[in-house]
């Protein structure tokens, strides 16, 4: 970016307000699998406050249909799982990180069963299915296609039973607070009182999830507005690889219907992809056909839509045993039936949608960020496991393993901090907000359409440059406005995340993993076999490396 845009910290506007205060040892921000697992682990040795932007049950985790990847069968091995993960990561997945997380997979499944999780079984053995990019069936699932709901339920019950965890629902984090070079908590907005307050903490764990709501087409819930990326950036944390955004190939596409995910496990069980003429087009593209890596399937679908002039393709399960299909996918069957679609016989209209943020806040295997006192885990973080493309169902595996690790490390660090609960002064550099009337809905819709067209499945330099210009035009007057509401803060976070994603996509002039440039269709290992980093400088400008 040629000029410093006002990536201001909202915290600087609140110095004169008399805000109520809370104190905790460990503040966990986010109620998905990673946040819940971190909170449970940290609560073993310190006081934890857990914040949920919505209710405890509203997260991407709860919507996950596929499952948890873990090497459990006799025909599988940790080495095979690692090889598949590195292959999907397109040269940027880190072998040491992958090996550690994958080795912890079977133990993570065992821990969940000890907590009461009920996974689908074939006799005495846990049932496993295969997804795209996997060479073996290794995806553990629950209640057919409701793995995420089971996971959220089990972890949520455990959190509610834990005396050491205080849960604050409907609580939105506005900004992180730094004190003497450490993250010392956050300023939050209570959805129940409408009031701002400060939560001081010895350590903070960021587990806010993804940013799918930056794009027009997405599988993500309304809470996924990139808040964690934006607040970490404003605090000065290093972020990396934000250009890598995974688009799920198969999302229900019906006029007026929410973009519901049609799990990759549907293709894992044998569903075909066909165009409007009935042609099964993936067989000519990849030896694994419908089970090719997600980036390949998504790009092929978009290309086929362009070739046929249609807005969707179709999933076909009519050749599969109908009773087995209904048993395996009860949730999807019921959802489609509401639209008069019989999953066993009718073609299901689908197209790709923004699904998972592969890049994120740069962390080590303990979840430590570049800011003392700040940890991150789950989708908001980047530990190097996924590289340039996430292998299906590796995300829940990572959330469980590194969520636990972050909780352990955060609690240990909190124990080493003095019980100093004095209210500290918050430094301010911003004095006045400008009075500008903003139509939030119009900006939101314009942003999501812009990102879908310019930073979606297919990208090129011209489109990315145009998107950057539009975002640079919108950002100053939106961020310079007095938008002290959750929706206003979310919009500013979306703009921050969108600007960073667009700039990093423009800088990476090659194609790799989920980042596909039509003007640079080849992978360029000589120049780009590396991570891209960004952080906020003291004057508010992003610095890229």
Residue 182 bears catalytic tag: no
Number of Cβ atoms within 10 Å of the Cβ of 191: 16
Q: Using CA atoms, how far apart are residues 138 and 109, in angstroms rounded to an integer? A: 12
Q: Which of 245, 252, 307 is nearest to 276 (CA)?
A: 307
Number of Cβ atoms within 10 Å of the Cβ of 510: 17
Q: Which of 40, 79, 36 is nearest to 56 (CA)?
A: 36
Angle between helix 461-479 and 486-507 (nearest 10): 150
Annotated catalytic residue within 130, 138, 234, 294: 294
> What is the separation, in whole angstroms, between the first and last Cα of the chain?
13
* CB 247 within 8 Å of CB 298: yes
Q: Using CA atoms, how far apart are residues 402 and 520, in angstroms rounded to an integer? A: 34
Q: Which alpha helices (DSSP H) does 192-254 contain, by range?
A: 227-234
- With vertex at residue 360, the alpha carbon angle to CA 354 and CA 363, rounded to the nearest 5 degrees, is 150
How far, in Å, are 14, 392, 401, 412 from residue 107 at the CA level?
Answer: 45, 19, 9, 22
Element (H, E) at 49: strand 48-51
* CB 126 within 8 Å of CB 71: no
Tokens, residue 350: 């689908």
For 155, residues 6+ apart whose C-beta sits below 8 A from its C-beta are 33, 36, 37, 40, 115
CA atoms within 13 A of residue 526's CA, in its CB half-sphere: 1
CA atoms within 13 A of residue 111's CA, in its CB half-sphere: 17
Sign, CA dihedral 216-217-222-225, equals: negative
Element (H, E) at 531: none
| Calculated CA dihedral for residues 219, 222, 224, 230, nearest 10 degrees | 140
Q: Residues with catalytic annotation?
A: 294
């Amino acid at each position: 970016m040629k000029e410093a845009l006002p990536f201001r910290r909202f915290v600087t506007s609140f110095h004169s307000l008399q805000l109520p205060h809370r104190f905790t040892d460990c503040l966990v921000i986010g109620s998905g699998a990673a946040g819940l697992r971190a909170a449970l682990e940290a609560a073993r040795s310190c006081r934890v406050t857990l914040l949920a932007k919505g209710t405890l049950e509203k997260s991407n985790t709860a919507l996950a249909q596929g499952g948890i990847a873990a090497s459990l069968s006799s025909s599988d091995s940790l080495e095979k799982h690692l090889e598949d993960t590195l292959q999907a990561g397109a040269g940027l997945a880190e072998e040491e990180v992958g090996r550690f997380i994958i080795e912890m997979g079977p133990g993570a499944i065992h821990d969940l069963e000890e907590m009461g999780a009920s996974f689908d079984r074939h006799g005495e053995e846990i049932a496993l299915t295969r997804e795209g990019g996997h060479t073996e069936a290794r995806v553990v699932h629950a209640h057919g296609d409701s793995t995420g709901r089971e996971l959220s339920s089990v972890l949520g019950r455990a959190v509610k039973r834990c005396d050491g965890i205080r849960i604050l629902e409907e609580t939105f984090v506005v900004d992180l607070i730094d004190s003497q070079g450490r993250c010392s908590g956050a300023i939050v907005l209570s959805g129940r009182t409408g009031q701002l307050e400060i939560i001081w903490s010895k350590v903070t764990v960021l587990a806010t999830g993804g940013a799918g709501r930056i794009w027009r087409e997405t599988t993500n819930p309304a809470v996924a507005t990139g808040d964690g990326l934006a607040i970490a950036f404003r605090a000065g944390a290093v972020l990396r690889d934000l250009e890598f955004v995974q688009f799920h190939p198969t999302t229900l596409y019906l006029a007026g219907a929410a973009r519901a995910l049609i799990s990759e496990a549907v293709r894992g069980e044998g569903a075909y992809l066909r165009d409007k003429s009935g042609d099964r087009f993936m067989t000519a593209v990849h030896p694994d056909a419908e089970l090719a890596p997600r980036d390949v399937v998504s790009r092929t679908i978009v290309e086929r839509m362009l070739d046929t002039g249609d807005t969707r393709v179709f999933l076909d399960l009519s050749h599969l045993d109908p009773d087995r299909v209904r048993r395996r996918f009860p949730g999807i069957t019921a959802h489609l039936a509401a639209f008069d679609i019989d999953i066993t016989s009718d073609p299901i209209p689908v197209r790709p949608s923004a699904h998972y943020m592969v890049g994120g806040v740069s962390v080590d295997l303990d979840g430590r960020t570049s800011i003392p006192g700040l940890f991150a885990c789950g989708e908001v973080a980047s530990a190097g496991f996924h590289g340039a493309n996430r292998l299906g169902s590796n995300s829940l595996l990572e959330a469980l393993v590194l969520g636990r690790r972050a909780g352990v490390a955060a609690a240990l660090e909190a124990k080493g901090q003095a019980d100093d609960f004095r209210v500290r002064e918050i430094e301010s550099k911003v004095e006045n907000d400008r009075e500008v009337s903003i139509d939030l809905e119009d900006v939101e819709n314009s942003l999501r359409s812009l990102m879908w067209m310019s930073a979606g499945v297919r990208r090129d330099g011209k489109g990315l440059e145009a998107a950057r210009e539009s975002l640079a035009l919108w950002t100053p007057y939106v961020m310079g406005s007095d938008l002290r509401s959750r929706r206003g803060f979310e919009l500013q976070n979306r703009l921050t995340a969108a600007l960073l994603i667009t700039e990093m996509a423009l800088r990476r002039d090659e194609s790799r993993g989920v980042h596909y440039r039509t003007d640079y269709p080849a992978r360029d290992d000589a120049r780009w076999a590396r991570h891209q980093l960004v952080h906020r400088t003291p004057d508010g400008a992003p610095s890229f490396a």
